[in-house]
């Protein structure tokens, strides 16, 4: 085959490949940009997952502490319930005994000692907050003196009534303590449940974010594969163009009797590096295209 025929064969092929180079480079760069976007998205989601996992552990600790508190408070509540049962049993026994003997006493007149004590406590708290000044301070002392006298009389009435009043007071106090213990259990149970619900909610969010991270990673892998394939195609196209141009230059040089040894050596060196898998700079790739 004559040199002219080879040139006629190579030139349109080179032109066709060259026309596709820019498009392949743009496609490759586009996929590389997608790789960067997917990578940033995956890393950000993984960061959020890490923070949420830490919060899940924190809520689990809160829940476990609350559950432990519930366990302890239930023991206290059980003790208060047992104390209440004992006092109620004692009161019922006392009432039954008096009914049997026909000695049921009338309920003592006047407020019970517990009510008087509550009133005295309220007055003392008001006095400590500065609620009594000047002439009203004397009123406070008169009222306290009166209440102390009423308390003494109420205690004596309870004693004279065979201890029923005192037992009833104990029952009311035991009921109050049992109710307080029950309320503390309920609050602790609520705290534990709230921490558990939040922990479950956060765990669900972790699972959702992990799905997003996996999706981003899948997109990253696919885009990276496409970018690598386009880059390899781009390099192969450059090699083909270079080989055909190099051959046509050699034919031109042989026909003209001139050989540009320095340029030939430079191009050959670059081509050898490219074929061996080295990464060439943009300037070096452009040099291959020009030559």
The C-alpha torsion from 91 through 96 and 101 to 106, rounded to 10°, is: 60
Stated pTM of the model? 0.49
Domain ranges of the chain: 3-107+161-259
- Give residue 96's pLDDT: 80
Distance CA 195, CA 54 (A): 14
- Give residue 259's pLDDT: 47
Distance CA 122, CA 153 (A): 20
Residue whose structure tokens are 């090699």: 239
Selection from 221, 226, 201, 204 nearest residue 42 by Cα: 221
Burial readout 165-198 (b: 16 or more C-beta within 10 A, e: otherwise)? bbbbbbbeebeebbeebbebbeebbebbeebbeb
Q: Which two tokens stand for residue 252?
A: 């031109």
- Give residue 124's pLDDT: 86
Question: CA 36, 41, 47 angle in degrees (round to 5)?
Answer: 125
- pLDDT tens digits along 202-240: 999 999 999 988 888 889 889 888 888 888 888 888 887
Please give the chain's pLDDT, 291 residues, in tens. Answer: 555 666 677 677 777 777 778 788 888 888 889 889 889 988 899 899 999 999 999 989 989 998 899 999 999 989 989 988 998 888 888 778 766 665 555 555 667 777 888 888 888 888 888 888 777 888 888 888 888 888 888 777 766 555 676 777 788 888 888 899 999 999 999 999 999 999 999 999 999 999 988 888 889 889 888 888 888 888 888 887 777 777 777 777 776 655 455 555 565 665 566 556 566 665 565 565 555
CATH number for the domain formed by residue range(s) 3-107+161-259? 1.10.287
- pLDDT tens digits along 48-76: 999 999 999 998 998 999 889 999 999 99
């Amino acid at each position: 085959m004559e040199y002219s025929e080879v040139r006629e064969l190579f030139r349109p092929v080179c032109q066709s490949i060259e026309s596709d180079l820019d498009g392949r480079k743009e496609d490759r760069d586009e996929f590389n940009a997608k790789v960067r976007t997917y990578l940033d998205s995956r890393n950000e989601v993984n960061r959020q997952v890490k923070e949420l996992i830490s919060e899940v552990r924190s809520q689990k600790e809160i829940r476990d502490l609350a559950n432990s508190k519930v366990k302890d408070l239930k023991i206290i509540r059980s003790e208060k319930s047992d104390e209440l049962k004992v006092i109620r049993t004692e009161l019922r026994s006392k009432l039954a005994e008096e009914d049997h003997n026909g000695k049921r006493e009338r309920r003592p007149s006047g407020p019970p000692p517990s009510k008087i004590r509550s009133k005295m406590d309220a007055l003392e708290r008001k006095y400590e907050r500065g609620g009594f000044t000047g002439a009203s301070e004397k009123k406070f002392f008169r009222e306290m003196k009166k209440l102390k006298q009423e308390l003494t009389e109420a205690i004596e009435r309870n004693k004279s009534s065979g201890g029923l009043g005192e037992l009833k007071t104990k029952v009311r106090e035991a009921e109050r303590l049992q109710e307080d213990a029950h309320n503390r259990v309920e609050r602790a149970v609520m705290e534990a449940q709230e921490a558990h619900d939040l922990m479950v909610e956060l765990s669900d969010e972790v699972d959702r974010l992990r799905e997003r991270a996996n999706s981003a990673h899948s997109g990253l892998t696919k885009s990276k594969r496409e970018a690598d394939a386009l880059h390899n195609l781009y390099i192969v196209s450059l090699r083909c163009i270079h080989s055909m141009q190099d051959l046509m230059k050699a034919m031109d040089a042989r026909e003209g009797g001139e050989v540009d040894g320095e340029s030939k050596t430079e191009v050959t060196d670059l081509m050898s590096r490219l074929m061996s898998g080295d990464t060439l700079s943009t300037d070096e790739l452009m040099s291959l295209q020009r030559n």
